[in-house]
Amino acid sequence: MQTAEVIRYSKQLMLDDIGPAGQQRLKQAKVLVIGAGGLGCPLLLYLNATGIGTLGFADADTVDATNLHRQVLYRQEDTGRKKVKAAQERLAAQNPFTELIAHDTAIDAANAAALFAGYDIIVDGCDNFGTRYIVNDACVAAAKPLVYGSILGYEGQLAVFNHKGSGQLRDIFPNPPEPGDVPDCSENGVLGTVPGIIGLLMAQQVIDLVLDRCTLTNLFLILDTRSLDKTELRYGA
């Protein structure tokens, strides 16, 4: 690491379970975040700040004014711009030591395998079930760990799939729901802090995976952000 990096990360370098060796592992990690929206924004900000060396992000959308209360990477003047372009500019200004790779594309069954090939860890911060299952299946096929998160109302879900032989999304929900069966944020609304809370927990799981201290193996966590009550579901072997 450069001297400037040592200074930047000095407070976390002081932690016994990180130190120089752990920080070097973070720098060598290659992480892809699917979605640069409510979950993706806090994910990208904190993974970038923490020192993930190569940080990719995939999204085909543009910034809308209704995004701004929760998608904290963007400013009013970004409205109408491509999310990946605006995100790349903000992240580059935040940390010049990260290799940022913007993928201006939606994930589908045709491009997932090729896109995931260049990364160690995939993070699902998307907002629709079709993409979630495509991402899950591509990670299973490529034997890549997947950090999963989703939100609805005040509730969030969190899991780490396909890690060292652990279970996957289809072990809990074998098939996606039919269109219209589960409402999304555009129909039910969302408080801006909820994706922030879940996105930060997802970022922590990415860091734990890189440092080989994952604690969510075969554990699906459901969190009520109002009461902080949590439900833990065991799955897989």
* CATH class given for the domain over 3-234: alpha beta
pLDDT of residue 184: 60
Read off the pLDDT of residues 9-55 as tens digits, 9 standing for 90 and up: 999 999 999 999 999 999 999 999 999 999 999 999 999 999 999 99
pLDDT of residue 32: 98
Read off the pLDDT of residues 103-124 as tens digits, 9 standing for 90 and up: 999 999 999 999 999 999 999 9
Spell out the SS3 assignment of the chain: CCHHHHHHCHHHHCCCCCHHHHHHHHHHCEEEEECCCCCHHHHHHHHHHHCCCEEEEECCCECCHHHCCCCCCCCHHHCCCEHHHHHHHHHHHHCCCCEEEEECCCCCCCCHHHHHCCCCEEEECCCCHHHHHHHHHHHHHHCCCEEEEEEECCEEEEEEECCCCCCCHHHHCCCCCCCCCCCCHHHHCCCCHHHHHHHHHHHHHHHHHHCCCCCCECEEEEEECCCCCEEEEECCC
Residue 182 scores a pLDDT above 70: no
Distance in angstroms (rounded) separating the CA atoms of residues 220 and 234:
6
pLDDT of residue 181: 57
Between 128 and 158, name the one with better pLDDT.
158
Tokens of 122: 């995939």
pLDDT of residue 64: 95
pLDDT of residue 179: 66
Distances (CA, A) of 137 to 140, 149, 169, 170, 175: 5, 16, 9, 9, 11
Taking each helix axis from N to C end, the angle separating 193-210 and 40-50, rounded to the nearest 10 degrees, works out to 40
pLDDT of residue 152: 87
As a whole number, mean pLDDT of residues 135-140 equals: 97
pLDDT of residue 23: 96
Taking alpha carbons only, the member of 30, 27, 28, 25 closest to residue 144 is: 30
pLDDT of residue 166: 93
- Average pLDDT along the chain: 93
pLDDT of residue 83: 97
Distance in angstroms (rounded) separating the CA atoms of residues 220 and 45:
24
Read off the pLDDT of residues 64-90 as tens digits, 9 standing for 90 and up: 999 999 999 999 999 999 999 999 999
pLDDT of residue 131: 93
Residue 186 scores a pLDDT above 70: no
Residue 187 scores a pLDDT above 90: no
The percent of residues above 90 in pLDDT, for the chain, comes to 85
